[in-house]
Amino acid sequence: MNKKPIFKFSFDKLKKDKKGVAAVEFALIAPVMVLMLFGSVEVSQAVTIDRKVTQAASTVADLVAQYETLDCATLRSIMIISRSVFEPYPNQGALASINVASVALVGGTPKVEWSKMVNSNGTCSTSSALPVGMNVNVPGTDSNGNAINLATSLINTTAPNSAGGVVLGKVDLNYQSLGTSFLPNSLQMSEEYMLNPRRSAKVCFTGETTPGC
């Protein structure tokens, strides 16, 4: 008497059986999809924060340009105001520092007359500020396509006799990433913005001796 086998394995049936294929495929691609999702969020946030650094530099320069004389207390207030630009990313804004400087023509070359830096802790100092006497070069072109220093043009526009200057607002941010592998854990972002003083030929700083102040 022939007995039928209890279990019979068939490769033909295995080839035709599609059960669980979708689950296996999803398990293979899910990690990649999740990584791409977080990566896109990371890159999108980094681009947004970089734009906000530019807006913050513009805000700092705009506020400084409205003063005739500055001091550290005023700069701290300006820094606090500039942080509001980073909403809804207050933690990133809290890491930003600002550099403020007066730039004037010295021997026909735009140079830093005085500069102050306020770090993320609110400390106002010259130790990490732009060096006094540093050349300021903002590459650009005139109407004829010739290369020019835009800083020189701005100063000449406000004070043809070189008695005035322009204000420079600079924002630096050590951007902290979300921890994905698409960007480094920290990324340096920086932006500068220059404007003509609104109420005087140049903006002075209390305690700093500069021509015209």
Which pLDDT score, from 0 to 100, does residue 46 have? 85
In a domain, 2, yes or no: no
In a domain, 4, yes or no: no
How many C-beta atoms surround the C-beta of residue 203 within 10 A? 27
How many domains in the chain?
1
In a domain, 124, yes or no: yes
In a domain, 183, yes or no: yes
In a domain, 8, yes or no: no
171, exposed or middle or buried, with CB in 10 Å at 0-12, 13-18, 19+? buried
Integer Cα distance of 194 and 107 in angstroms: 20
The answer to whether the beta carbons of residues 167 and 100 sit under 8 Å apart is: yes
In a domain, 13, yes or no: no
Q: What is the pLDDT of residues 94-121, one digit of tens each?
A: 999 999 999 998 888 999 999 999 999 9
In a domain, 54, yes or no: yes
Which pLDDT score, from 0 to 100, does residue 116 have? 96
Q: What is the DSSP letter of 137?
A: -
In a domain, 118, yes or no: yes
Domain assignment of residue 89, given as a range: 20-205
Q: What is the 3-state secondary structure (H, E, C) of 172-199?
A: EEEEECCCCCCCCCEEEEEEEEEECCCC
For the chain, list residues with pLDDT below 70: 1-26, 30, 34-36, 38, 156-163, 178-185
Which pLDDT score, from 0 to 100, does residue 7 have? 53
